[in-house]
Amino acid sequence: MTRALIADDEPNLAEHLRGRLAQLWPELEILPLAANGLEALRALDEDEPEVAFLDIRMPGLSGLEVAGRSGHATHVVFVTAYDQYAVEAFDREAADYVLKPVTDERLEKCIERLKKKLAAAERPPALDDVLARIARAIPGAAGGKLRWIRASKGEVVRQIAVDDVLYFQASDKYTCVMTREGESLIRLPLAELADQLDPEAFAQIHRGTIVNLREVASTRRDLGGRTFVMLRDGKTELPVSRAYAPLFKQM
């Protein structure tokens, strides 16, 4: 049975695509949805589906980055909100695409192409050239620093602007996102999150803490020589480990 991965940070659109695929390609097995690029890459590595529908813009890693990093023989279909002019950069022989919102007519054509490739046991071609072409044609498609985070607070999933975050704190395999509105949780280890943050705006101050530098109001040293940062909310003080203390001597 052919298996497919859908990766999109917009759950309604992802569910819509899953529903249409279930209707138009009922023998296709659809894996659990991936909500960001890192989840998508992990699913490609672990499950090795034959087909992947990748949103171009996703937090963590863009669809282009996921396609470029995956080392498996997966036929990639990019899901994009860009218009026809922009998607001229695609080469359907290498990587197909469907526009949001996905229409049955376009999806049927895409399914037909995929079935032919799979029936012929055709291996997916190298994507380097087409990925570079798409990246040049669509601003920001190649990825960039994280601007929004989807974080859970109980049963509610919040969309949080990274600029509004006071600090991130490691919590086992998760990361706590601290804002003035309280604490939320993302399913991503702090070490993986760090690579996606703008180093001009965020700095690691402790093994388990990354602070928004724009929220730092002051620093102090106690009698033991330990450094602390006080945030602009006026009530949060965070310890700075000795390894990161020199950062604040330069500020």
* pTM of this structure: 0.59
Check residue 112 and give its pLDDT. 96
Cα distance between residue 126 and residue 229, in whole Å: 48
**Quick one: tokens of 112?**
């037909």
For the stretch 63-83, what's the b/e string if a residue is b when 16 or more beta carbons lie within 10 angstroms of its beta carbon? bbbbbbebeeebbbbbbbebe
Tell me what pLDDT residue 85 has.
58
The pLDDT tens digits for 151-164 are 888 888 777 878 89
CA 225/CA 63 separation, integer angstroms: 46
Q: How far apart are the two ends of the chain, measured CA to CA in Å?
A: 58
Note the pLDDT of residue 175.
Answer: 92
Q: What is the mean pLDDT of each run of 10 residues along the chain (251 residues)?
A: 92 92 96 91 92 86 83 86 69 81 92 94 81 72 68 81 91 90 88 80 93 92 91 94 80 57
The CATH code for residues 148-248 is 2.40.50.1020
User: Which CATH code is given to the segment(s) 3-122?
Assistant: 3.40.50.2300
**pLDDT for the residue numbered 184:** 93
pLDDT at residue 245 in the model? 85
Q: How high is the pLDDT of residue 104?
A: 94
- Distance, in Å, from the CA atom of 193 to the CA atom of 38, rounded to the nearest integer, reads 10
Q: So what's the pLDDT on residue 70? A: 78
Q: In this predicted model, what pLDDT tens digit does every residue of 48-80 receive, in sequence order?
A: 999 999 998 887 788 888 888 777 789 999 998
The dihedral formed by the CA atoms of 49, 53, 55 and 61, expressed in degrees to the nearest 10 = 10
CB 184, CB 177: distance < 8 Å = yes
21 vs 16: CA distance, rounded Å: 9
Residue 84: per-residue pLDDT: 61
Per-residue pLDDT, 119: 94
pLDDT at 86: 65
User: Are 163 and 197 within 8 A, CB to CB?
Assistant: no
Enter the tokens of residue 94.
């290498």
Encode pLDDT of 107-123 as tens digits.
999 999 999 999 999 88
